[in-house]
């Protein structure tokens, strides 16, 4: 574990943000810093940042204890995010890591804990049409990532009390300039001609521009009096056909949008087979990248999932500031700047 950065001087609470190697974690830390919070971050890789930065694994109890020292609030984003992988790997980071952090936080007297979750913890495979958050389901959520996050979310919310207030914020499909989870994969696969639409890309889905997701997470911390004990789904509130969203991302990056379609049922079946083969090959060290299709990914691309945002917006006293069209314009500007 190493420490870098000049430290932060200023008013406001001292907040630990985990998982800031990723786009959303970094955006949350930057927003807190810009608002005058004293920020410390924890991530596996070194980062160049104007705040205190710790490097290590949240699953290490010594690292967790050092990270929470002197803070009074935590925003926990660190997680293993993947379509494939051994269950034990997800348990180690997403479940054990969350438990270690909560235990360390309670021992240190931290009062507020924002657990950044995912709507996938309550997605059981059927269409979601204008629903609320729904209960997390470690047993029936789809895939190792969703099940492990569901277990971690349940664990965090079970600890909610007057002295340790916990909330779960579930941003849905976060994207923006610099995103490697959605945008980069869409662009790379579209450029290579390996991105089919499922069922013609008609499934209606919600997504979240990264600035909006970061703002909602910070509002979860600032509105803990109202948000604690709850799970809140966060989206842009602009459901669109998945094919339209993919076309917008491709246009922003200057690549041709996919023009062929595969039946969703076929992709789901193929995804199950590919995922098993990919996981087996990966356990032998043969592959390291994500597979071209998994059942979970096929379900996400062929099943409607959009959410009623009225309760979330009322609790957080928040509305998205960046529309999807504005986000796509920012993405296009990003790609133009890259040449």
CA-to-CA distance for 73 and 69, rounded, in angstroms?
11
Task: State how far the Cα of 329 lies from the Cα of 130, in Å rounded to an integer.
Answer: 27
3-state secondary structure of 306: strand
In this structure, are residues 242 and 175 in contact, taking their beta carbons and an 8 Å threshold?
A: no
> What tokens appear for 247 in the block?
């076309």
Instruction: Give the whole-angstrom CA distance, residue 145 versus residue 120.
Output: 9
**Token pair listed for 138:** 């470690």
Cα 172 to chain centroid, rounded: 7
Q: Where are the alpha helices (DSSP H) in the chain?
A: 23-34, 61-68, 87-90, 97-108, 143-158, 183-191, 210-222, 224-227, 242-253, 264-283, 295-302, 310-316, 324-338
Which of 37, 145, 226, 335 is the catalytic position? 145
- Which residue is listed with tokens 């360390």? 104
Is 37 a known active-site residue? no
- Whole-angstrom CA distances from 304 to 127, 150, 210 are 5, 20, 21
Cα(151)–Cα(214) distance, integer angstroms = 23
Tell me how far CA of residue 169 lies from CA of 14, 217, 332, in angstroms. 20, 6, 28
Give the contacts of 193 (CB within 8 A, at least 6 positions apart).
none
Active site residues: 145
């Amino acid at each position: 574990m190493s420490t870098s950065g000049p430290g932060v001087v200023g008013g406001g609470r001292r907040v630990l943000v985990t998982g800031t190697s990723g786009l959303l974690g970094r955006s949350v830390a930057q927003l807190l810093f810009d608002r005058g919070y004293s920020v410390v971050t924890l991530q596996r890789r070194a980062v160049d940042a104007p705040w205190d930065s710790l490097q290590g694994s949240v699953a290490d109890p010594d690292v967790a204890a050092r990270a929470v020292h002197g803070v009074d609030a935590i925003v926990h984003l660190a997680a293993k995010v993947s379509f494939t992988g051994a269950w034990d790997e997800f348990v180690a980071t997403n479940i054990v890591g969350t438990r270690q952090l909560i235990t360390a936080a309670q021992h240190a007297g931290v009062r507020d804990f924002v657990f950044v979750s995912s709507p996938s913890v309550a997605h059981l495979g059927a269409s979601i049409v204008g629903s609320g958050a729904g209960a997390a389901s470690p047993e029936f959520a789809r895939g190792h990532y969703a099940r492990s996050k569901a277990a971690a979310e349940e664990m965090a919310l079970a600890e909610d009390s007057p002295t340790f207030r916990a909330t779960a914020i579930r941003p849905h499909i976060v994207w923006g300039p610099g995103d490697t989870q959605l945008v980069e994969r869409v662009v790379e696969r579209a450029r290579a001609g390996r991105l089919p639409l499922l069922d013609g890309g008609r499934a209606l889905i919600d997504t979240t521009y990264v600035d909006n997701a970061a703002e909602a997470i910070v509002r979860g911390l600032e509105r803990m009096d109202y948000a604690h004990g709850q799970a809140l789904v966060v989206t842009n509130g602009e459901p669109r056909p998945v094919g339209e969203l993919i076309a917008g991302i491709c246009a922003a990056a200057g690549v041709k949008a996919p023009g062929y379609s595969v039946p969703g049922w076929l992709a789901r079946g193929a995804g199950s087979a590919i995922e098993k083969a990919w996981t087996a090959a990966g356990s032998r060290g043969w592959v390291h990248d994500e597979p071209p299709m998994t059942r979970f990914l096929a379900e996400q691309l062929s099943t409607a999932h959009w959410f009623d945002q009225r309760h979330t917006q009322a609790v957080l006293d928040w509305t998205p500031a960046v529309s999807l069209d504005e986000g796509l314009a920012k993405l296009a500007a990003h790609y133009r700047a890259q040449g």
